[in-house]
A = this chain, B = another copy of it.
């Protein structure tokens, strides 16, 4: 084959979804960008959602890779959780597609987008959960419900990065690390 039409389509769709979001992207436009007949898209993907899902799956893989890359086995569990979560949220802010998606989810609540956001969040949860399970096995942290702990950590991170700055000065990376350290790891008890 001269050109990989499937790849062309996926690339075109990624570009369009990143630029205009899911709802505002039309299949005709994707076809045009990909230099392909509209019908051709449907030989590879049953629906617009299926095309979207493939792209998001790819995004999730990239995200996992970025997170995994940020981990340094020689560092402590705490340090690594901080690095991974910070990297993941950084990723969200660096990639046009995630920015657009979360925006569309917030502003229009497009069902397909809401679903996909949930998938992304589940993937992050599972990633952190795995790290926690490992840390428990290696006796680096107290035993706990890994899923619940991962959930708490992520919520806290999101809150510190995205919610706090709605009413306050944004926190620096160091402040966030310190807050996580002080609250989750060290606790406040005397």
Point out residues on A near B: beta carbons under 8 Å: 78, 122, 139-142, 144-145, 147-149, 151-152, 155-156, 159-160, 163-164, 167-168, 179, 182-190
Min distance, Cβ A31 to any Cβ of chain B, angstroms: 35
Which residues of chain B are near A164, meaning CB under 8 Å? 148, 151
Q: Cα distance A142–B181 when bound, in Å? A: 13
Q: What residues on B are CB-neighbors of A159 within 8 Å? A: 151-152, 155, 159
User: A78, A144, A179, A187 — which one has the most chain B CB atoms within 10 A of its CB?
Assistant: A187
List B contacts of A182 (CB < 8 A). 142, 144
Task: Tell whether, in the assembled complex, residue B187 and residue A152 are in contact, meaning their CB atoms are under 8 Å apart.
Answer: no
Which of B122, B155, B160, B185 is close to A188, meaning CB atoms less than 8 Å apart?
Answer: B185
Set of chain B residues within 8 Å of A190, measured between Cβ atoms: 139-142
Task: Give the dominant DSSP class at A's interface.
Answer: helix
A131–chain B nearest beta-carbon distance, Å: 12
Quick one: closest B residue to A163, CB to CB?
B155
Contact of A186 with B183 at beta-carbon distance under 8 Å, contacts A155-B159, A164-B151 already known: no
Min C-beta distance of A7 to chain B, whole Å: 34
Question: Does A156 lie within 8 Å of B152, measured CB to CB?
Answer: yes
The 9 closest A-B pairs by CB, nearest first: A187-B187, A155-B159, A141-B188, A186-B187, A185-B189, A185-B187, A142-B188, A183-B184, A152-B183
Q: Which of A142, A147, A188 has the most CB of B within 10 A?
A: A188
Query: What CA separation (Å) do A159 and B164 show in the bound complex?
Result: 15
